[in-house]
A and B are shown apart, each in its own frame.
Chain A
Amino acid sequence: MQRLHRQAHARIWMVLALLLPAIIVLALVIRQNGPTEAPPVRLSAPQGSP
Chain B
Amino acid sequence: MSAAYKPVTWNVVKLAYDAVLVIAVGLYIYLFIHVAPAYDRVTLYDDEGMTKVAAFGSCAFLMFTFILCIGPLARLDPRFLPLLYNRRHFGVLTAAMAAMHAEYVIEWYFDYGHMSRWVEFLIGNTSYGQVLGFPFELFGLFALIVLLVMAATSHDFWLRFLTPPVWKAIHMAAYIAYASAVIHIALGHLQSAYNPVFLVCFVIGVVSVCVLHALAARLDGRVEKSPAVDAVGAQWVEAGRVGDIAEGHGLVVVLTEGERVAIFRHGGRLSAISNVCAHQNGPLGEGLIVDGCVTCPWHGYQYRPEDGCAPAPYTEKLSTYRLRLAGDRILLDRHANPPGTYVEPVTIGGG
Partners in one complex: yes
A12 engages B206 (CB within 8 Å): no
A42 at the interface (CB under 8 A from B): no
Q: Is the interface of B mostly helix, strand, loop or mixed?
A: helix
Please tell me the number of chain A residues within 8 Å of chain B, measured between CB atoms.
25
Q: Which of B172, B207, B210, B259 contacts A1 (CB 8 A)?
A: B259
B290 at the interface (CB under 8 A from A): no
CB distance from A19 to the nearest CB of B (A): 7
Stretch of B140-148, B229-237, B274-282, B327-335 lying at the A interface: B274-282
Within 8 A of B (CB), among A1-50: 1-6, 8-10, 12-14, 16-17, 19-21, 23-24, 26-28, 30-32
Q: Mark B132-152, 1 if CB is under 8 A from A, else 0.
A: 100000000000000000000
B165 at the interface (CB under 8 A from A): yes
Q: How many A-B residue pairs have CB under 8 A?
A: 83
B38 at the interface (CB under 8 A from A): no
Q: Mind listing 23 A-B residue pairs with CB under 8 Å?
A: A1-B276, A1-B319, A2-B276, A3-B260, A3-B281, A3-B283, A4-B165, A5-B165, A9-B172, A10-B221, A13-B213, A13-B214, A16-B210, A17-B211, A20-B182, A20-B210, A21-B206, A21-B210, A24-B190, A26-B186, A30-B132, A31-B190, A32-B132
A: residues with CB less than 8 A from B are 1-6, 8-10, 12-14, 16-17, 19-21, 23-24, 26-28, 30-32
B: residues with CB less than 8 A from A are 131-132, 165, 168-169, 172, 175-176, 178-179, 182-183, 186-187, 190-191, 202-203, 206-207, 209-211, 213-214, 217, 220-221, 258-260, 274-276, 281, 283, 319
